[in-house]
Amino acid sequence: MDVFVSQYDWIQRSRETLFRYCETMSPEDYVKELDSFGGDSIRSLHVHVVNCYRGWLGNRALGKPLAEIKPESVPIVREMREIFMETDALVHEFLNKFKGNWDESTLVTFRSGASAEFTALWLYTHTTTHEFHHKGQIVKIGRILGYIPPETDLIEPEIQVVQK
């Protein structure tokens, strides 16, 4: 079993629950910017998560020239799902490239001119935990807007009864 592929599968399942929740919202609420969240909307947080995966795993680790996505280019949840499907493919490409080489480092140079090396394990851990951090914020914004969220933490596996 590839533990990181399995882990990402759980992340995708949790994200699917979050998308179903977002689909219960009005399109206006999905894009509504809240001052109490620094002007962020649920949509802008989703885009921010995608851009994190694209920036760290795509641009830096895989060397792909991926442009940053702008929130206003994604008006509805269905289109956000499509962008996350592209992101899923990117994550799987990253997982395949670094499989068994989690200590391999990527040199990153920042706009300030400073640079640092990050291991593949750090890059994967950073991007996935970053998504869960913002998932919590999305659920909180939904609550503020009057939507009751489902359980969005990692969903437990279905229990199957085995007949002997």
Q: Which residues are annotated as a binding site for a divalent metal cation?
A: 48, 130, 134
* Of 40, 13, 43, 12, residue with least CA distance to 26: 43
User: What are the C-alpha distances in Å from 138 to residues 45, 48, 162?
Assistant: 7, 12, 38
39: alpha, beta or left, given left = phi > 0 and alpha = psi -120 to 50? left
| DSSP symbols for 33-73 | -BGGGTTB-HHHHHHHHHHHIIIIIIIIIS---PPPPPGGG
51: left (phi over 0), alpha (psi -120 to 50) or beta: alpha
DSSP letter at 112 equals T
3-state secondary structure of 113: coil
* Whole-number Å distance between alpha carbons of 34 and 86: 28
